[in-house]
Amino acid sequence: MIYHSLSRLKPAQKARVVGFSEDDVPNKILEMGIVPGVSIQLKQQAPLDGPMYVEYGKEKSTVMLRRSEASHILVEVE
């Protein structure tokens, strides 16, 4: 299996969170429910490497993540 960082997804691409690139994951990511096993989809990418608008989980929660935060989230593209 090849895992990519969430920051490499393209708009409308779906993936599943498999882990994190660092042991020290920001608490805000875990508190939002972005944990291994959760489905996630890039809905929109702001221009000039701006924030990423993602939808995740069964409840279809949405959040904006900085690219620096998304780069620590490892995903398997579906």
Q: Per-residue pLDDT tens for 5-24?
A: 999 999 999 999 999 988 77
Domains observed in the chain: 4-77 (2.30.30.90)
Predicted local distance difference test score (pLDDT) of residue 20: 93
Residues 19-36, mean pLDDT to the nearest whole number: 88
User: For residues 43 and 9, what is the distance between their CA atoms, to the nearest angstrom?
Assistant: 10
What rounded mean pLDDT belongs to the chain?
92
Are 3 and 75 in contact, with CB atoms under 8 Å apart?
yes
The sheet with strand 39-45 has its strands ordered as 4-5, 73-77, 14-20, 39-45, 52-56, 61-65
